[in-house]
Amino acid sequence: MSNVTADELMAVTASRLLKDHKVVFAGVGMPLLAAAVARHQHAPHLTIVLEGGIIGTTLLPGKLPISTNEMRAAYGAQMLTDITDIFLYAQRGYFDYGFLGAAQVDMYGNINTSVIGSMEHPRVRLPGSGGANDIISLCNEVLIVTQHEPRRFVERVDFITSPGYLTGGDSRARAGLLTGRLGAVVTDLALLDFEPATKRMRLRALQPGVSVSQVRAQTGFDLLVSDEITELSPPSPEEIVIYRELRDGPAAGVADMAPPDRFAAVEPA
Amino acid sequence: MEHVAVLAARVERERASKADKADKRMTAEAAVQLIHDGDHVAIGGTLYSRTPMALVFALLRQRRRHLTVSRPLACYEIELFLSTGALDRIVSSWVGIGLPWGLAPIFRHYVERGEVAYDEWSHLAMGLRYKAGAMGVPFLPTLTMLGSDLATQLDLQTVTCPYTGERLAAVPALNPDVALIHAHRADMLGNAQVDGYQHMDVDMARAARTVIVSAEQIVSPDEIAARPDRTMLPHFAVDAVVAAPHGAYPHECYGRYGPDLQHFDAYAAAAKQEGPAAGLRYVEENADQSFASFLEAAGPERLAALAADAGELTPR
- Give the distance from residue A175's alpha carbon to the nearest chain B alpha carbon, in angstroms: 5
Q: What is the pLDDT of residues B203-221, one digit of tens each?
A: 999 999 999 999 999 999 9
Quick check: B305 pLDDT over 50?
yes
3-state secondary structure of B178: strand
- Name which of B177, B213, B170, B157 is nearest B8 in CA terms: B177
Confidence of residue A253 (pLDDT cuts 50, 70, 90): low
Quick check: A256 pLDDT over 60?
no
- Give the distance from residue B145's alpha carbon to the nearest chain A alpha carbon, in angstroms: 6
pLDDT for the residue numbered B22: 83
pLDDT for the residue numbered A269: 35
Quick check: B4 pLDDT over 70?
no
pLDDT for the residue numbered A1: 37
Cβ atoms of A57 and A75 within 8 Å: the answer is: yes
The Cα A166–Cα B250 span in angstroms is 41
Residues 6+ apart with CB under 8 A from A134: A87, A90, B122, B123, B124, B125, B144, B145
**Numbers of helices and strands, H then E, in chain B:** 13, 12
On whether residue A1 sits in a domain, the answer given is: no
pLDDT for the residue numbered B183: 98
How many domains does the structure of chain A reveal?
1
CB contact under 8 A, A126 and B103: yes
On whether residue A218 sits in a domain, the answer given is: yes
The Cα B44–Cα B310 span in angstroms is 20
User: What is the pLDDT averaged over residues B101-110?
Assistant: 97
The Cα B186–Cα B170 span in angstroms is 35
Instruction: Spell out the domain ranges in chain B.
Output: 6-16+36-125+174-313, 139-172
Percent pLDDT > 90 in chain A is 87
Confidence of residue A254 (pLDDT cuts 50, 70, 90): low
φ and ψ at residue B150, rounded to 5 degrees? -60, -45
Among chain A residues, the shortest Cα distance to B151 is held by: A161
pLDDT for the residue numbered A7: 95
On whether residue A239 sits in a domain, the answer given is: yes
- Interhelix angle B105-112/B261-274, nearest 10 degrees: 40
Mutation target among B46, B76, B122 for the A interface, most CBs of A within 10 A? B122
User: What is the pLDDT averaged over residues A145-170?
Assistant: 97
Rounded to the nearest integer, the mean pLDDT of chain B is 95
User: What is the pLDDT averaged over residues A236-244?
Assistant: 94
Query: CA-CA distances (angstroms) from residue B176 to A92, B44, B66, B306?
Result: 28, 12, 14, 32
User: What is the pLDDT averaged over residues B251-275?
Assistant: 97
Nearest to A175 among B72, B120, B146 (CB): B146
Kindly report whether the global pTM for this prediction surpasses the value 0.90.
yes
pLDDT for the residue numbered A212: 97
On whether residue A220 sits in a domain, the answer given is: yes
Cβ atoms of B160 and B131 within 8 Å: the answer is: no
Quick check: B2 pLDDT over 60?
no
Amino acid (1-letter code) at residue A199:
K
User: What is the pLDDT averaged over residues A159-174?
Assistant: 97
Give the CATH number of domain B6-16+36-125+174-313.
3.40.1080.10
Residues 6+ apart with CB under 8 A from A59: A32, A36, A48, A65, A72, A75, A76, A246
Complex confidence, ipTM: 0.95
pLDDT for the residue numbered B1: 46
The Cα B200–Cα B194 span in angstroms is 12
Quick check: A255 pLDDT over 80?
no
- Name which of A19, A205, A169, A174 is nearest A96 in CA terms: A19
Which residues in chain A touch residue B122, judged by CB atoms under 8 angstroms apart? 129, 131-134, 137
Rounded to the nearest integer, the mean pLDDT of chain A is 92
Nearest to A84 among B108, B153, B203 (CB): B203
Strands A23-26 vs A47-50: parallel, antiparallel or unpaired = parallel
- Name which of B239, B248, B238 is nearest B217 in CA terms: B248
- Name which of A11, A17, A57 is nearest A34 in CA terms: A11
Quick check: B253 pLDDT over 90?
yes
User: What is the pLDDT averaged over residues A1-26?
Assistant: 93
Phi-psi region of B121 (alpha: psi -120 to 50; beta: other; left: phi over 0): beta
Among chain A residues, the shortest Cα distance to B150 is held by: A161
User: What is the pLDDT averaged over residues B144-150?
Assistant: 98
DSSP-assigned beta bridge partners for residue A23: A47
Residues 6+ apart with CB under 8 A from A103: A111, A112, A113, A126, A146, A152
- Domain span including residue A201: 6-265
Quick check: B11 pLDDT over 90?
no
Q: What is the pLDDT of residues A131-140, one digit of tens each?
A: 999 999 999 9
User: What is the pLDDT averaged over residues A59-71?
Assistant: 92
pLDDT for the residue numbered A2: 57
Cβ atoms of B173 and B129 within 8 Å: the answer is: yes
Active site residues of A: 51
Q: What is the pLDDT of residues B115-138, one digit of tens each?
A: 999 999 999 999 999 999 999 999
pLDDT for the residue numbered A153: 98
Among chain A residues, the shortest Cα distance to B49 is held by: A70
The Cα A103–Cα A109 span in angstroms is 12
- Name which of B129, B126, B203 is nearest B172 in CA terms: B129
Q: In terms of pLDDT, which residue wins out, B155 or B18? A: B155
Nearest to B259 among A70, A129, A172 (CB): A70
Cβ atoms of B24 and B241 within 8 Å: the answer is: yes
pLDDT for the residue numbered B6: 66
Confidence of residue A30 (pLDDT cuts 50, 70, 90): very high
Mutation target among A87, A92, A121, A129 for the B interface, most CBs of B within 10 A? A129
User: Any idea what the CATH number is for the domain that residue A141 is in?
Assistant: 3.40.1080.10
Residues 6+ apart with CB under 8 A from A196: none
Confidence of residue A260 (pLDDT cuts 50, 70, 90): low
- Give the distance from residue A125's alpha carbon to the nearest chain B alpha carbon, in angstroms: 6
Quick check: B85 pLDDT over 80?
yes
Quick check: B64 pLDDT over 50?
yes
Binning chain A into helix, strand and coil, the percentages to the nearest 5 are 25, 25, 50
Q: How many alpha carbons fall within 13 Å on the CB side of residue B4?
A: 27
Largest CA distance in chain B: 61
